[in-house]
Chains A and B, each alone.
Chain A
Amino acid sequence: MSARQGLLHPGFLVLVLVMALLPLGLANNFWYDLAIKVGLNAMIAVGLNLLIGYAGQISLGHAAFFAIGAYASAILTSHYGIPGLLALLLGALIAGLLAWAVARPILRLSGHYLAMATLGLGIIISIVINREIALTGGPDGMAVPTLYILGWAVRGAPSWYWIVATCLALTTLFSLNLMNSAFGRGLRALSNSEIAAASVGLDTAAMKVKIFVVSAIIAALAGSLFAHAELYVTPDESGFLRSVELVTMVVVGGQASTFGAVIGAGLLTILTPLLAGAQDWRDALFGAILVATMIFLPRGLVPSLRRLVR
């Protein structure tokens, strides 16, 4: 695999091009809204892919980090009047600290334990959000004030489209850069053989923790953006099912593939509106896609296609 510089990576250029030209085809707010959802899911998926695809770990509670970002933004701006960008950073910080606190003890043990721990953590956070009605508005959710960047009120789907597109581009760039470094190679190595990775001098436990924290922070940032874009947050975004959705996007689109994650997010996000009338079938279809992909294309769509082309 040759080294492709981040900015000049063909996939990255295609992504930027698509994102720049897409608004030409977005007829109304509904479509802009959908594009924003795809973009945010793609952001989380790219971050999650660092953990699942590259480091070979699994998280069954990532929706909780998304929700931490969303609710931190919502609560800090509306209850405490903290400026939007600061609240965003605080949300990312909280998510990062929590991820670090859980990952450090758990990642010393073997793979499955992280799955279980993230499961537990995710559900606890989801329950807290649901129950602390005074703080979070409970199951009904809460309204989120408009985001102000240097005095400019960020309003309207088109504005948010460009913000999300930029953030997605940056996230993708970071992911590509990370994988094109010694750290990234080390991550991929430890997903194959932790013992061999340790024996070349890599601190595997520390690396797993770092990448877990990075992926949590990315999810939280996406959550904050979501909160201000939708102007409303509900606990639905934090549950186990949402976490499973996120994992599905990564594994269907392609593990260890930045653009696979983007594509997986895109495909699965548009599945719901695509099913329009047959909403009830969404779950069954979703599950079937997941099972079929894991059996026949275990590395996901993009890497499998890549292999075919080779």
Chain B
Amino acid sequence: MILEAQSLAKNFGGVTAVAPLSFSLDHRVTAVIGPNGAGKTTLFNMISGIYPPSSGRIFYRGRDITGENVTARARRGMMRTFQNLQIFFHLSALENVMVGASRHLNLGLLASLFHMPAIRRDLMEARAKAEALMRLVGLEAYLASPADAMPYGALKRLEIARALAAAPELLLLDEPAAGLNPNETAEIGTLIRRIAQGGTTVLLVEHDMKLVMSVSERIIVLDYGKKLAEGTPEEIRANPQVIAAYLGAGSAP
């Protein structure tokens, strides 16, 4: 079990964004869905370390990481993408992916100043890996491109490539299909399945139901910060409470 959340909760002032929530990730692809304001992004940010939880604990591979910051969690192998793209626009596309591998690279100041052989080796390996990843996510066309010359859909995939660069054990995808057309969304779905097959655990927050249903093995439904339901796509699809939450109580069969 790679991730376990125990009674995780978050309050902002008087507002409860996430009521005590417990779950564990032991499937390849898990999706968190729910209407807007359900607390999905807040939950995500608590898991990746951006918000400290108001209460509850998070365990990564059995270790309590509740007090750890974003950097520490990333070093353990938890990588993420962002709903509002956080691309490094001063860098080239390739460099963006290379930076993703930072936790495996030599960041020593003296070694870098003197361009020691270890640094040179890192550079070549990082470049090769980054090129391979860009091909994997379908961005061969942008291998020589600066990041600020790429279209939105390509940037979404670049972020995923960046997150994959350090071979994460857990990949958090924050609305990977937001702003994409149906074709692009389908491609993202294929990519997610391939990533999961490669052994990475994926947790995604997503609104696009088609994508969610096609890639997820398990789905957690949130509503007003509480867990409404949890189960396989088929179970969720037929769950009357879920349907009511999304479409209004009157639509339940």
A/B: CB atoms within 8 Å of each other: yes
- Binary per-residue interface labels of chain A (177-189) against chain B in the complex, 1 for a CB within 8 Å, 0 otherwise: 1101111111011
Q: Does A174 contact B (CB under 8 A)?
A: yes
- Binary per-residue interface labels of chain A (194-207) against chain B in the complex, 1 for a CB within 8 Å, 0 otherwise: 01111111111001
Stretch at the interface among B3-11, B53-61, B101-109, B195-203: B101-109
Once the chains bind, are B91 and A192 in contact (CB under 8 Å)? Answer: yes
Q: Does A3 contact B (CB under 8 A)?
A: yes
Once the chains bind, are B79 and A199 in contact (CB under 8 Å)? Answer: yes
- Binary per-residue interface labels of chain B (187-219) against chain A in the complex, 1 for a CB within 8 Å, 0 otherwise: 000000000000000000000000000000000
Q: How far does the alpha carbon of A195 sit from the alpha carbon of B45 in the complex, in Å?
A: 11
Q: How far does the alpha carbon of A71 sit from the alpha carbon of B199 in the complex, in Å?
A: 60
Once the chains bind, are B98 and A196 in contact (CB under 8 Å)? Answer: no
Q: Does B88 contact A (CB under 8 A)?
A: yes
Q: How far does the alpha carbon of A175 sit from the alpha carbon of B91 in the complex, in Å?
A: 17
In this complex, the member of B74, B99, B114 whose beta carbon has the largest number of chain A beta carbons within 10 angstroms is B99
Which residues of B are found within 8 Å of A185, using beta-carbon distances? 91, 95, 98-99, 102
Once the chains bind, are A181 and B119 in contact (CB under 8 Å)? Answer: yes
Once the chains bind, are B112 and A200 in contact (CB under 8 Å)? Answer: no
Please judge, given known A-B contacts A200-B74, A201-B71, whether A182 and B91 are in contact too, CB under 8 Å: no
Once the chains bind, are A214 and B99 in contact (CB under 8 Å)? Answer: no
Q: How far does the alpha carbon of A195 sit from the alpha carbon of B105 in the complex, in Å?
A: 19
Once the chains bind, are B88 and A182 in contact (CB under 8 Å)? Answer: no
- Binary per-residue interface labels of chain B (106-137) against chain A in the complex, 1 for a CB within 8 Å, 0 otherwise: 11110111110001001100110000000000
Please judge, given known A-B contacts A182-B102, A197-B99, A201-B75, whether A3 and B113 are in contact too, CB under 8 Å: no
Q: Does A282 contact B (CB under 8 A)?
A: no
Bin chain B's interface residue count. 35 or more
Q: How far does the alpha carbon of A170 sit from the alpha carbon of B127 in the complex, in Å?
A: 27
Which residues of A are found within 8 Å of B88, using beta-carbon distances? 188-189, 192-193, 196-197
Q: Does B90 contact A (CB under 8 A)?
A: yes
Q: Does A6 contact B (CB under 8 A)?
A: yes
Smallest CB separation, B113 vs chain A (Å): 5
Q: Does B24 contact A (CB under 8 A)?
A: no
Q: Closest residue of chain A to B100, judged by CB? A: A200
Smallest CB separation, B144 vs chain A (Å): 9
Chain A at the B interface: SS class: helix
Q: How far does the alpha carbon of A199 sit from the alpha carbon of B88 in the complex, in Å?
A: 13
Q: Does A220 contact B (CB under 8 A)?
A: no
Q: Closest residue of chain A to B48, judged by CB? A: A199
Q: Closest residue of chain A to B99, judged by CB? A: A189
Which residues of A are found within 8 Å of B89, using beta-carbon distances? 192
Smallest CB separation, B213 vs chain A (Å): 28
Please judge, given known A-B contacts A189-B91, A196-B88, whether A177 and B79 are in contact too, CB under 8 Å: no
Q: Does B139 contact A (CB under 8 A)?
A: no
Please judge, given known A-B contacts A181-B112, A182-B112, whether A201 and B87 are in contact too, CB under 8 Å: no
Once the chains bind, are A198 and B109 in contact (CB under 8 Å)? Answer: no
Q: How far does the alpha carbon of A178 sit from the alpha carbon of B116 in the complex, in Å?
A: 11
Q: Does B70 contact A (CB under 8 A)?
A: yes
Once the chains bind, are A191 and B86 in contact (CB under 8 Å)? Answer: no
In the complex, given contacts A182-B101, A197-B88, what are 8 additional A-B residue pairs having Cβ atoms less than 8 angstroms apart? A178-B112, A182-B99, A189-B99, A200-B103, A200-B166, A201-B74, A201-B75, A202-B71
Task: Name B residues whose Cβ lies closer than 8 Å to a Cβ of A.
Answer: 48, 50, 69-71, 74-75, 79-80, 82, 86-92, 95-96, 98-103, 105-109, 111-115, 119, 122-123, 126-127, 146, 162-163, 165-166
Closest 3 CB pairs of A and B: A201-B103, A196-B86, A181-B112
Task: Name A residues whose Cβ lies closer than 8 Å to a Cβ of B.
Answer: 1, 3, 5-6, 174, 177-178, 180-186, 188-189, 191-193, 195-204, 207, 210, 214, 256
